[in-house]
Amino acid sequence: MSSPNPGPELPPRLARIRFRAWHRGTREADYMIGCFFDRFHQDWSEEDVLWFEDLLEEDDVHVMAWALKTEPVPERYAGALMEQMQQLDYVDIPR
């Protein structure tokens, strides 16, 4: 699956991250994680990018559970970015 709106060309590192965000294995995870990247990455610091790269190493079921607040968020992912992810107002599913 690829993003419904690819947007401008990204530097190679961000392009790889974006690809991984949009190719998670399930449509639900693709939309949640991919849309989160598309909506917010342009405002991220280097530390934020590193946080997201680490998050991409986690299993989708856990990332989605943290975002949906059905599992406690591990300390290493707790903070402003996870709180932003938990808002779920960034998911844009084309109809």
Residue written as token pair 């690809």: 19
* pLDDT tens digits, 30-72: 999 999 999 999 999 999 999 999 999 999 999 999 999 999 9
* pLDDT tens digits, 11-34: 999 999 999 999 999 999 999 999
Query: Residue 1: which pLDDT band, with cuts at 50, 70 and 90?
Result: very low
Name the percent of the chain lying above pLDDT 70: 92
Q: How many CB atoms lie within 10 A of CB 73?
A: 18
Yes or no: say if 18 and 41 are a contact pair by the CB < 8 Å rule: yes
The whole-model pTM stands at 0.88
Higher pLDDT, 48 or 93: 48
Yes or no: say if 67 and 59 are a contact pair by the CB < 8 Å rule: no
74-85 mean pLDDT: 98
Query: Residue 95: which pLDDT band, with cuts at 50, 70 and 90?
Result: confident
Dist CA 55 CA 57 (whole Å):
5
